[in-house]
Chain A
């Protein structure tokens, strides 16, 4: 009964998201596009954070390299958008394999510091390798051509681009969800709760942490590939360590113990930012207060707290 109502609710939300371009202004189409892309970024991060228990402070490296990859392919090769996204995923997977290989051997705060350090290195490279990345200005001036698969889509139209983002994020979310529900996902949860016991069950915990890290990086790269045409630029800010904090905040805001938590967190984050900055400059102060309240009083995040509350009411 409960799951049926929740599934119904989810169906309504998805139907609403599909209908948005016909009922809302461009302003909200832009906001929702951003929410979806950052939601995927945060959900990819939560695979290693909420499920596997690895707090990475360098996740923006994969988001950023995904955006640069798509921008570079569009500028130099003018490939269809779908091909650009595949290049983004490949590039971020490769980077995640290298950074992950060197990082997953360490635990807890050492892992966090190492991922932060690698994230800063990637930022420095993007910032200084001007001939390829155009330095601090980033890569701009690229235009989207065809989508691929013979589909005739006008990607320059924000409403069309929104639908493309919605479809791709939905597919990516389903794939991530299936991974979380698999036997592999079960092992990831077990690793978060007790890594030593998992190794005494005969599994190489390092390998599992590395695979999770690469999957998370790959989906972050996909999100990065989607953000570049949306922002019309791939800039070093997307790789900055402060960008690595965003999925952490979103996951905690929405609830790390729930698959959809990071998406809820992304929605709240983007909406609050838009709303508060129209009144005051001090958006970070308000965000700080909200986050402190979440961590002190609502550990399960907004989604978790709402679900708990709903279960109570049902009784």
Chain B
């Protein structure tokens, strides 16, 4: 019987009188992929911000691998093994693609404290950076300035940077948002293969239901900050309330999928 890697108890965030997130409970088992879905404003990003240390919860407790991480700053939570991507691109625009990953690797390996090494001759880190770029299929871009590569490639670069801290838990915030259908397919396939490799535990928020049903082992449906439903993709597809509340905007599609 394995223990959950992440336990969330009664997680709540209030902004004034508004409950952005209200009393969420969740247990994530190792090597699991959990998707969090819900309409805009459902509290998904606020939820991520609390788990990754960007925001202080109003109430509740977050436990990572048996350790209470509630309210720790982002750099400590990252050190303990939670790594996240952002909805908007969050990279180092003036550095090369490879250097972007090298920054994260230097931080992870503690090279960042070295004042008198020569960063550009650190072949170990460079090789490792290229390995991560290969895994995401963007090693061909390694010498490009990060700001000039395509939007989709930037998002893949971000995933490479997220994985480079060898996290116990990966939070991806809408990894395919703004991507072309082609890029979305490519990214879904990549995340799927990473999830299937059994090396990672994923929490994913996503708008694209095809991506969600393709990737997730379990789905948490949020609505106005609260848990509406949690279950397997099949259960979510067939849950009437979920279809009205969230899949409403894609109701026809959902009905088609449920009754092919």
Using CB atoms and an 8 Å cutoff, list the residues of chain A in contact with chain B.
178-179, 181-187, 189-190, 193-194, 196-205, 208
Chain B interface size, as a band, is 20 to 34
Set B78, B114, B116, B122: member contacting A199, Cβ < 8 A: B78
Other contacts beyond A182-B117, A200-B84: 6, CB < 8 A: A178-B115, A183-B111, A189-B94, A190-B92, A201-B161, A202-B78
Q: Assuming A194-B91, A194-B92, A199-B75, is B115 touching A187 (CB within 8 A)?
A: no
Q: Is the CB of A203 within 8 A of B118?
A: no
Q: List 27 A-B contacts (CB under 8 A).
A: A178-B116, A181-B119, A181-B120, A182-B117, A183-B106, A183-B111, A183-B114, A183-B119, A184-B112, A184-B113, A184-B114, A184-B115, A186-B119, A187-B112, A193-B92, A193-B93, A194-B90, A194-B92, A197-B91, A197-B161, A199-B73, A200-B90, A201-B107, A201-B108, A202-B75, A203-B75, A208-B112
Q: Assuming A201-B103, A203-B75, is B94 touching A193 (CB within 8 A)?
A: yes
Interface string of B109-153 (1 = CB under 8 A from A): 001111111111010000000000000000000000000000000
Most chain A C-beta atoms within 10 Å of own C-beta, residue among B52, B102, B103: B103
Across the interface, which residues of A come within 8 angstroms of B94, CB to CB? 189, 193
CB distance from B101 to the nearest CB of A (A): 10
B46 within 8 A of A: no
Judged by DSSP, the binding face of A is helix
- A205 vs B53: C-alpha distance in the bound complex, in angstroms? 14
Across the interface, which residues of B come within 8 angstroms of A198, CB to CB? 103, 107
Across the interface, which residues of A come within 8 angstroms of B52, CB to CB? 200
CB distance from A99 to the nearest CB of B (A): 21
- A196 vs B74: C-alpha distance in the bound complex, in angstroms? 9
- A185 vs B103: C-alpha distance in the bound complex, in angstroms? 10
- A179 vs B94: C-alpha distance in the bound complex, in angstroms? 19
Q: Is the CB of B116 within 8 A of A196?
A: no
Set B73, B118, B120, B165: member contacting A201, Cβ < 8 A: B165
Across the interface, which residues of A come within 8 angstroms of B12, CB to CB? none
CB distance from A205 to the nearest CB of B (A): 7
- A183 vs B126: C-alpha distance in the bound complex, in angstroms? 12
Q: Is the CB of A202 within 8 A of B107?
A: yes
B174 within 8 A of A: no
Q: Is the CB of A182 within 8 A of B119?
A: yes
Q: Is the CB of A201 within 8 A of B95?
A: no
B205 within 8 A of A: no
Across the interface, which residues of B come within 8 angstroms of A179, CB to CB? 115-116
- A189 vs B119: C-alpha distance in the bound complex, in angstroms? 12
Q: Assuming A190-B92, A194-B92, A200-B78, is B118 touching A181 (CB within 8 A)?
A: yes
- A194 vs B114: C-alpha distance in the bound complex, in angstroms? 20
- A198 vs B78: C-alpha distance in the bound complex, in angstroms? 10
Set A181, A190, A204: member contacting B95, Cβ < 8 A: A190
- A92 vs B93: C-alpha distance in the bound complex, in angstroms? 34
- A244 vs B99: C-alpha distance in the bound complex, in angstroms? 33
Q: Is the CB of B118 within 8 A of A182?
A: yes
B79 within 8 A of A: yes
Q: Which B-chain residue is minimally distant from A207 (CB atoms)?
A: B75
Q: Assuming A178-B116, A197-B90, is B78 touching A186 (CB within 8 A)?
A: no
